[in-house]
Structure 1
Amino acid sequence: MPAESPRVRDLAEQDLLDRIFPHLPVGSRTLVPPGDDAAVVAAADGRVVITCDVLVEDVHFRRAWSTGTAVGRRAAMQNLADVAAMGARPTALVVGLVVPGDTPVSWVEGLAQGLGDACRPLDVGVVGGDLSSGPVLVVSVTAHGDLEGRPPVRRTGTRPGDVLALAGRCGWSGAGWALLAAGREDVDADLVEAYRVPEPPVAAGPAAARAGATAMLDVSDGLLRDGRRMARASGVTLALDAPARVLADDVRRLRPAAEALGVAVEDWLLAGGEDHGLLATFPPDVALPPGFRPVGSVRERGDELVLVDGAPPRPGSVGWDHFGA
Structure 2
Amino acid sequence: MRVADLTEEQLLGRIVPLLPAGSATLVGPGDDAAVVSAADGRFVVTTDVLVEDRHFRRAWSTGEDVGARAAVQNLADVAAMGAVPTSLVVTLAVPGDLAVSWVEGLARGLALACAPWDVGVVGGDLSGGPVVVVGVTAHGDLEGRAPVLRSGARPGDVLAHAGVLGASAAGLALLSADLVGPGDEAAIRAYLRPGSPLAGGPAAARAGAHAMLDVSDGLLRDAGRMAAASGVRLDVRSDALEGDVRGVADAAARAGVDPLDWVLGGGEDHGLLAAFPQGAALPAPFRAIGTVHAADDESARVTVDGAPPHVRAGWDHFAG
The two structures have a TM-score, normalised by structure 2, of: 0.98
Deviations 1:234-279 (A, max 9, x none): 000001112xx20222122111111121210111001100000000
Pairs within 5 Å for 1:122-137: 122-137=117-132
1:168 to 163, 168, 173: 163
CA distance in 2, matches of 1:172, 1:271: 11
Correspondence 1:248 to 2:248: no
The answer to whether 1:208 aligns with 2:204 is yes
Q: Determine the structure 1 residue equivalent to 2:85.
A: 90
In structure 2, distance between residues paired with 1:318 and 1:72? 28
Matched residue, 1:289: 283
Return the alpha-carbon distance in structure 1 between the equivalents of residues 24 and 237 of structure 2.
41
Taking the aligned partners of 1:272 and 1:287, their CA distance within structure 2 comes to: 28
**Shift, 1:129, TM fit:** 0.1
Matched, 1:189 2:167: no
Once the two structures are superposed, what CA deviation does each residue of 1:62-97 show, in whole Å capped at 9, x if it has no partner? Answer: 000100000000000000000000000000000000
- Equivalent-residue separation in structure 1 for 2:186 and 2:161 (angstroms): 21
| Match in the other structure for 1:37 | 32
Match of 1:143 among 138, 143, 167: 138
What is the one-letter code of the residue matched to 1:59?
R
Secondary structure at 2:181 match in 1: helix
Q: Does residue 239 in structure 1 map to residue 232 in structure 2?
A: no
Output the CA distance in 2 between the equivalents of 1:193 and 1:282. Answer: 30
Of residues 139, 154, 158 in structure 1, which corresponds to 2:153?
158
* 1:310 pairs with 2:306: yes
Residue 160 (structure 1) shift: 0.3
Q: CA deviation at 1:32?
A: 0.8
Displacement, 1:41? 0.5
Aligned to 1:3: none
Q: Say what the alpha-carbon RMSD is for the aligned residues.
A: 0.8
Post-superposition shift, 1:140?
Answer: 0.1
Give the structure 2 partner of residue 46 of structure 1: 41
* In structure 1, C-alpha distance between the alignment counterparts of 2:54 and 2:313, rounded to whole Å: 19
Structure 2 residue aligned with 1:73: 68
Distance 2:191 2:175 in 1: 9
5+ residue gaps, structure 1, are 1-5
Helix, strand or coil: the match of 1:9?
helix
Q: Which residue of 1 aligns with 2:8?
A: 13
Partner of 1:119: 114
Distance 1:263 1:59 in 2: 23
Structure 2 stretches lacking a partner, 5+ long: none
Q: Which residue of 1 aligns with 2:103?
A: 108
Deviations 1:205-251 (A, max 9, x none): 00000000000000000000000000000000001112xx2022212
- Measure how far apart 1:33 and its partner are: 1.2
1:217 aligned to which of 213, 229, 249: 213
> What's the counterpart of residue 273 of structure 1?
267
Which residue of 2 is the match for residue 320 of structure 1? Answer: 315
Give, as a single letter, the amino acid of the residue that structure 1 aligns with 2:69.
R
**CA separation in 2, counterparts of 1:253 and 1:235?**
33
Moved over 3 A (4+): none
One-letter identity of the residue aligned with 1:284: Q
SS state of the match for residue 52, structure 1? strand
Distance 2:103 2:285 in 1: 34
Between 249-258 and 77-86, the greater mean CA deviation after superposition: 249-258
Instruction: Give the drift of 1:190.
Output: 1.3
**Residue type of the partner of 1:96?**
T
3-state SS in 2 of match to 1:250: helix
Between the aligned partners of 1:280 and 1:128, the Cα distance in structure 2 is 32
User: Take 2:235 and 2:246, find their aligned partners in 1: how far apart are those partners?
Assistant: 22
Instruction: Give the letter aligned to residue 199 of structure 2.
Output: A
TM-score normalised per structure 1: 0.96
Question: Following TM superposition, by how much is the alpha carbon of 1:49 offset from its aligned partner in structure 2, in angstroms?
Answer: 0.1
Q: Which moved more, 1:97-106 or 1:187-196?
A: 187-196
Superposition pairs of residues 51-70 of structure 1, within 5 angstroms: 51-70=46-65
